[in-house]
């Protein structure tokens, strides 16, 4: 049994004092007891503990190009998402299973050090660099599961269906050759991962859903078939990230992306709409009514010049949302939350917008709780915070660190999210197990070799 005594813990959307957290041997919270004196035994004691968060959208291989696409190409006077995508394809063509496993473990350890304890991996690298199947068609997916197991993070693997290069086009481009797969294959991969988790006794740390890359890459029949066959597991799809994508969708399908999904697919609480950046008010209302979740990736969306999601309207309609680091230009959950609020402030020239539109007091609390509850829906694991029966994930913040030192206790969350969101956490637990997420010397060497291979 794991026992943690916390001077302050974030319980049920507020700070509770003198909290004893107890997890059972299966890695789930068994008792949450506030207002109790510190035990006089070897129970670990901490100043400030919060639940771990879900990173609801990750493309692990893109970690290798984070910050390395920030120079203007003289042959491309107007850089945008589509130019970045071409450079991403070049990286995708050079990574094999060994490199992917190294990169993913490095990345997942970074996530743990920043406060993420679960990651949803939107996985569309399926074939070898020549576009041929591996002897095991799940080779690259299994590399991700091994990386997550070594790091200690929970993993929701989302084998991704990718069929077409764009609206009204058949097949993939040569640069997309590694992404090709069929609906039957992604369903088989999802089933295999679930079976592996069952066989290994790791269902609390490993599960699988399915992703459809986007409306431009998957046709309506395939979306319906997968949604009908896959059962009650998370379903993720990129949607309405780019204005040109919205225009193309209207031209080819007769409706905006979210409109089309609501009318022709019938969204429900399994669905996670990644980005949904250019969704209109009536679409956000429809998402809220459907029970679907929006997955927001503010630092990637800013880095790619995507645009601003309408957070204030989504809060008014009580849309569920989670956050992800996507291309991993940033790996800190608090920075994603900070930028989500600051984007609205810059656009509307007002302050504390999340708190106002959620009819709450603390902006940081609204953002943190939104990510916590939405992450639960995105990953399909019991990660709802410090509640009996939820997975025993926890993150300790160092009250003696500069960002928190001297700050009133009730403002710790405000200081972490709005003050210094890149502050590393002091300790992290996943399923009741305390982890050491720092990379080993061997992993550091392997990471350097991968980066040298890709960029030298």
d(CA 386, CA 19): 10
Q: Is 313 helix (H, G, I), strand (E, B) or coil?
A: helix
Residue 224 burial (C-beta neighbours within 10 Å; 0-12, 13-18, 19+): middle
Which residue has tokens 């989670």?
Answer: 322
d(CA 241, CA 259): 14
Q: How many other CB atoms are there within 10 angstroms of residue 152's CB atom?
A: 21
Q: Are 207 and 233 in contact (CB under 8 A)?
A: yes
Q: What residue spans of 69-96 are helical by DSSP H?
A: 81-92
d(CA 120, CA 42): 35
Residue 29 corresponds to which tokens in the numbers above? 């919270």
Angle at 87 between CA 83 and CA 92, to 5 degrees: 140
Taking each helix axis from N to C end, the angle separating 220-229 and 183-200, rounded to the nearest 10 degrees, works out to: 20
57 counts as catalytic = no
410: closest CA among 369, 365, 368, 367? 365
Residue 392 corresponds to which tokens in the numbers above? 């025993």
Q: Are 28 and 70 in contact (CB under 8 A)?
A: no
12 counts as catalytic = no
DSSP code of residue 418: I
- In the set 59, 236, 275, 328, the catalytic residue is 275
Q: Counting every residue, how long is the chain? A: 456
- In the set 306, 310, 326, 393, the catalytic residue is 326
431: closest CA among 233, 206, 232? 206
Phi, psi of 126 (to 5 degrees): -115, -40
Q: How many other CB atoms are there within 10 angstroms of residue 223's CB atom?
A: 19
CA-atom Rg of the chain in angstroms: 21
| Cβ partners under 8 Å of residue 20, min gap 6 | 3, 4, 5, 6, 31, 32, 33, 34, 36, 39, 43
Catalytic positions: 275, 326
């Amino acid at each position: 049994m794991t026992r943690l005594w916390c001077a302050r813990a974030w319980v049920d959307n507020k700070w509770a004092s003198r909290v004893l957290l107890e997890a059972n041997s299966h890695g789930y919270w068994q008792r949450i007891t506030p207002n109790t004196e510190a035990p006089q035994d070897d129970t670990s004691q901490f100043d400030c503990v919060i639940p771990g968060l879900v990173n609801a959208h990750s493309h692990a291989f893109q970690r290798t190009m984070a910050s390395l696409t920030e120079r203007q190409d003289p042959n491309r006077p107007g850089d945008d998402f589509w130019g970045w995508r071409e450079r991403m394809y070049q990286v995708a063509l050079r990574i094999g299973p060994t490199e992917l496993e190294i990169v993913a473990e490095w990345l997942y350890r970074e996530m743990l050090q920043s406060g993420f304890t679960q990651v949803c991996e939107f996985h569309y690298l399926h074939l070898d660099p020549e576009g041929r199947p591996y002897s095991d068609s799940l080779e690259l997916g299994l590399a991700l599961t091994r990386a997550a197991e070594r790091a200690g993070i929970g993993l929701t693997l989302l084998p991704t269906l990718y069929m077409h290069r764009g609206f009204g086009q058949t097949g993939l481009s040569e640069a997309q050759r590694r992404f090709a797969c069929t609906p039957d294959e992604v369903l088989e991969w999802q089933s295999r991962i679930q079976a592996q988790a069952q066989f290994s006794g790791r269902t609390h740390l490993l599960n699988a859903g399915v992703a459809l890359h986007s409306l431009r890459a998957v046709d309506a029949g395939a979306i319906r078939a997968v949604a009908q066959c896959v059962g009650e597991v998370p379903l993720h799809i990129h949607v309405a990230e780019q204005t040109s994508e919205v225009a193309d969708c209207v031209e080819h399908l007769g409706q905006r992306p979210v409109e089309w999904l609501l009318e022709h697919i019938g969204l429900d609480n399994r669905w996670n709409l990644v980005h949904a950046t250019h969704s209109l008010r009536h679409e956000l209302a429809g998402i809220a009514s459907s029970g679907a979740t929006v997955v927001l990736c503010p630092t990637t969306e800013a880095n790619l010049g995507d645009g601003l999601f309408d957070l204030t309207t989504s809060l008014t309609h009580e849309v569920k949302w989670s956050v992800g680091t996507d291309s991993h230009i940033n790996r800190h959950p608090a920075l994603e939350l900070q930028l989500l609020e600051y984007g609205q402030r810059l656009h509307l020239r007002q302050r504390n917008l999340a708190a106002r539109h959620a009819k709450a007091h603390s902006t940081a609390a609204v953002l943190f709780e939104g990510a916590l509850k939405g992450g639960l829906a995105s990953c399909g694991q019991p990660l709802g915070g410090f509640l009996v029966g939820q997975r025993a994930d926890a993150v300790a913040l160092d009250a003696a660190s500069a960002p928190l030192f001297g700050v009133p206790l009730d403002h710790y969350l405000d200081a972490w999210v709005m003050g210094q969101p890149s502050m590393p956490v002091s300790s992290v637990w996943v399923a009741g197990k305390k982890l050491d997420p720092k990379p080993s010397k061997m992993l550091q060497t392997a990471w350097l070799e991968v980066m040298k291979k890709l960029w030298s």
